[in-house]
Amino acid sequence: MPVVHIYMFEGRTDDQKSAMAQGVTKAISEAAGIPDSATTIVIHDTKRSDWAQGGVMASDS
């Protein structure tokens, strides 16, 4: 506890993902008083052709 699912466009490097996981974990622990070790993060790379805003695919905008 907690479990965090992050959905974002593919293309981030492993180093960026690692830095993101560290930062998000720390932000949760500081704000909510939860030990770092308790936080699970799952990153879901998503293609622009699978993501729409306002009915328009991100690959078309």
Binding site for its own copies (CB under 8 A): 1-9, 12, 14, 16-28, 30-34, 36-46, 49-60
**Cα separation of 61 and 58, whole Å?**
5
Query: What is residue 17's three-state secondary structure?
Result: helix
The yes-or-no answer on residue 2 being catalytic is yes
* Number of Cβ atoms within 10 Å of the Cβ of 39: 19
At closest approach, how far in Å is the CB of 47 from its own copies?
9
At closest approach, how far in Å is the CB of 10 from its own copies?
10
Set 1, 2, 4, 12: catalytic member: 2
- The catalytic site residues sit at 2
